[in-house]
């Protein structure tokens, strides 16, 4: 027997990681150079959560799927023209700022308030989805804070799989050290699931899905609630970049073992 689920996916939008992202320190703190020039995409971790959520909703008829996203309305709209072609969902847009290092507490408060205000949401059936990590410069704790604000006590992080059982309980695979998974069984909803990559490929662009989504997305964007984040709650002690290095050269006629040995030597020298 299928379970009826109310799945809410929290997904921010982030500067497209395929672009050149150059960190700078501006008047309001650390940020990215020319950030407004860059196109935005749905946070890739949260995008995995969205695809998993859509898959789950499709397997459980009667379920509902909301996508809650905070960002400048114009950027949200642009991102939705791609995301909306992937899977069916109902958008809950929040017109707010992006950029810099947003305060997770402030962001979580806005998201939780919007979720709590969803008129058709049955919190007893709620699965709160999001990304395990974040491609934004957030602290990666926003999802947990949203869950806490909504009073949800069962939290799972680094999730790669969820299997629903007929009695409403579900099994969750969470990533742990050593490339293994921790298996947990939860008695039922509500729960918070921070997704790793999951197991699903990115769905193909489907124009019919896009057209259907847009019937609700455009009116939702037009009515998007404005939100202001507390920008004074954070101070920056230090900001550093991870070291990255590229060395490219063309090799011919090397065996995979030889290439592997060269890579190990290169990594070892670093």
Q: How many amino acids of this chain bind other proteins (CB under 8 A)?
A: 31
Stretch of residues binding other proteins (CB under 8 A), selected from 52-60, 103-111, 157-165, 248-256:
248-256
Q: From the CB of residue 230, how many other CB atoms can be counted at a distance below 10 Å?
A: 13
Residues 6+ apart with CB under 8 A from 129: 7, 8, 9, 10, 46, 49, 50, 52, 53, 193, 195
Q: Which stretch binds other proteins (CB under 8 A): 135-143, 185-193, 204-212, 228-236?
A: 204-212
Alpha-carbon distance of 236 to 240, in angstroms, equals: 11
208 binds other proteins (CB under 8 A): yes
Q: Binding of other proteins at residue 39 (CB under 8 A)?
A: yes
Q: Going by C-beta distance under 8 Å and a sequence separation of 6 or more, which residues neighbour residue 13?
A: 40, 41, 42, 43, 69, 71, 75, 76, 79, 98
Cα–Cα distance for residue pair 209/224, rounded to 1 Å: 22
Residue 38 in the binding site for other proteins (CB under 8 A): yes
Tell me which of 226, 250, 267, 269 binds other proteins, using CB under 8 A.
Answer: 250
> Per rule CB under 8 A, is residue 184 in the interface with other proteins?
no
Q: Does 205 bind other proteins (CB under 8 A)?
A: yes
Q: Taking CB under 8 A as the criterion, which residues in 81-140 touch other proteins?
A: 81-82, 85
In this structure, what is the dihedral angle of CA atoms 122, 69, 93, 188, given to the nearest 10 degrees? -10
Q: Any contact of residue 77 with other proteins (CB under 8 A)? A: yes
Provide the binding-site residues for other proteins, judged by CB under 8 A: 16, 18-20, 34, 36-39, 73-74, 77-78, 81-82, 85, 204-208, 210-211, 214, 218, 222, 246, 248, 250-252
């Amino acid at each position: 027997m299928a379970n009826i689920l109310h799945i809410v996916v929290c997904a921010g939008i982030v500067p497209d990681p395929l672009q050149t992202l150059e960190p700078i320190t501006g008047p309001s703190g650390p940020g990215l150079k020319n950030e407004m020039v860059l196109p935005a995409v749905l946070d890739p971790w949260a995008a995995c959560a969205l695809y998993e959520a859509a898959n789950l909703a499709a397997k459980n008829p009667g379920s509902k799927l909301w996508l809650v996203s905070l960002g400048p309305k114009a950027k949200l709209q642009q991102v939705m023209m791609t995301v909306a072609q992937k899977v069916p969902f109902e958008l809950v847009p929040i017109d707010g700022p992006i950029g810099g290092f947003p305060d997770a507490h402030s962001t979580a408060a806005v998201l939780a308030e919007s979720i709590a205000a969803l008129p058709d949401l049955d919190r007893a059936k709620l699965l709160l989805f999001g990304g395990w990590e974040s491609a934004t410069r957030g602290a990666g704790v926003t999802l947990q804070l949203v869950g806490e604000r909504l009073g949800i006590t069962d939290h799972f992080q680094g999730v790669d799989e969820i299997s629903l059982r007929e009695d409403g309980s579900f099994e969750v695979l969470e990533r742990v050290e050593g490339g293994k998974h921790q298996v947990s069984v939860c008695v039922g909803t509500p729960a918070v699931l921070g997704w790793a990559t999951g197991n699903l490929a990115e769905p193909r662009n489907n124009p019919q899905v896009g057209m259907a989504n847009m019937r609700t997305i455009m009116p939702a964007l037009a009515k998007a609630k404005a939100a202001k984040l507390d920008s004074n709650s954070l101070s920056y002690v230090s900001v550093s970049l991870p070291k990255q290095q590229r060395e490219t050269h063309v090799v011919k006629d090397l065996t995979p073992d030889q290439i592997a040995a060269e890579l190990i030597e290169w990594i070892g020298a670093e």
